[in-house]
Amino acid sequence: MNGVYGINSTSLEKNIDLSQEPILLQIPMELIVKILSHLNISSIFATGATCKALKQIVCDFEDVYLNKLKTIYRSQFPETSAESKGATAFQYCQAKKLDGLIKNKEIQPKVYKLCPDLLNFYNGPPFLLNDGRIINAYHLNQSNFLQISSLTTLQECKKMDCPSFVLSLDCMQNEIIVCGCEKVIHLIELETGHLIRSIPLTCDVWALTHVGQTIIAGCDDGLIRMWDFKTLNEMCELKGHTHAVLSLKVQGHILFSASKDKTIRMWDLSLGTQIYQIERHVCAITCLAISNDKMVSGSLDGRIDVWNWKEKKLLQKIQIENPKFHKINSIALLDGKILSISNNATVFDRPSIFICDLETGVEYKNLDEFAGSWRAYLLTWEGKIICRRNSGTYIYSFAEEDALSSKNVL
């Protein structure tokens, strides 16, 4: 049977490895509908995607993708058994709305036009390190939970329910700070998993960090909001960004923020004021890494910039692969090297880990041999690389002769 663009769906399916599901299928329907209703075509071209690339994606995958999407959501939320499956009234209404969009073909081919932007903002549940432990957020079978494992024994310590689907994650003292797509920041006790406190918001939070007793959130409306950890009273708002704040880093009393508005801003936290602004990237900036006087930024066009932030000087620009099809999801610094996860921005996600020298920008290693369903988060711990894929969390270490050894955590 021919698809909308005359592509034979039967032959197409034979050539596609459906075990490599697009990340879009792993995202809860509330978030999908939300993004479908808010994004538009102008936001897509800001990602660096070309008309030709988008058209090719639509032609290649439209029928296969939509059929799979319908099957998944109709099976999870059929009209007669939604409540018995534990679906909330809100989830059921959203499922009906999504089903209506599919039946009316309102998301054809909008799903694929939105897909690059969606993948840029959400690339899998986040994880973080805390006192020799790794805290992973999971969303499986409509259930949200946090898994805590030891980095030394590689064993699971505990698992706890999470009140929401996780967009951003941080840990402060004995509490895990979680923000999901329902516009609430939750504080969960690390040892017991009990929900202690919540902060209602008016927008989503894509980045979380803290300094001292202050919680700092990078919000979808471009604001950076700060709360007192003990009282949860809002302390101030940092205004400057015009689009979503996607990354936050703190160095001493300086806060660094990166945004979809293509700027990096530096803030003096002691004064609550902006002290510098960088406008060198041509696409949304997705991630930052800071080490001493060096700042590294990655953007949707596959570009990495290295700065001396104290001197406010651009040291070098590094381009990963073809900028039309690669984007930088996550960046970390380790032993004078830049580690990054880049993504080829196709429906069937094929990220790889790229390593280059911090001073020269010369490529050190490109871990295509480990390419697969990597999540867009990259951390370092005791000289090791920690990254996550569908089958678990992996720890890579530089062994003799620059080889890499891996250990599957969970």
Q: For 297-339, what is each residue's pLDDT tens digit?
A: 988 778 889 999 999 999 988 887 654 446 777 888 887 888 8
Q: Does the structure show a pLDDT above 70 at 268?
A: yes
Alpha-carbon dihedral of residues 184, 254, 125, 388, nearest 10 degrees? -160
pLDDT at 145: 85
pLDDT at 403: 42
Q: Are 399 and 405 in contact (CB under 8 A)?
A: yes
For the domain covering 163-279, report its CATH number.
2.130.10.10
* Average pLDDT score, the chain: 69
- CA distances (Å), origin 7, targets 13, 226, 352, 395: 11, 51, 29, 42
∠ at Cα 286 (41, 174), nearest 5°? 125
Q: Which residue has the higher pLDDT, 69 or 174?
A: 174
How far apart (Å, rounded) are the C-alpha atoms in residues 294 and 18? Answer: 42
pLDDT at 37: 47
pLDDT at 216: 96
Least trusted range by pLDDT, from 71-85, 175-189, 289-303: 71-85
- In what side-by-side order are the strands of the sheet with 404-408? 374-381, 384-389, 392-398, 404-408
pLDDT at 347: 31
Structure token digits, residue 55: 């058209």
Q: Does the structure show a pLDDT above 60 at 72?
A: no
Count of CB atoms within 10 A of residue 282's CB?
A: 13
pLDDT band (50, 70, 90) for residue 408: low
pLDDT at 211: 92
Residues 6+ apart with CB under 8 A from 84: none
Q: Does the structure show a pLDDT above 60 at 349?
A: no
- Please give the average per-residue pLDDT across 373-401, as a whole number: 65
pLDDT digits (tens, 9 = 90+) for 102-122: 454 433 333 333 333 444 455
pLDDT at 36: 47
CB burial class (10 A; 0-12, 13-18, 19+) of residue 184? middle
Q: Does the structure show a pLDDT above 80 at 402?
A: no
- Please give the average per-residue pLDDT across 279-288, as a whole number: 88
- Please give the average per-residue pLDDT across 155-175, as a whole number: 85
pLDDT at 226: 95
How far apart (Å, rounded) are the C-alpha atoms in residues 176 and 229? Answer: 12
Amino acid at 3: G
pLDDT at 223: 96
Q: Does the structure show a pLDDT above 90 at 82?
A: no
pLDDT band (50, 70, 90) for residue 167: confident
- Domain locations in the chain? 163-279
pLDDT at 275: 95
Count of CB atoms within 10 A of residue 257's CB?
A: 26
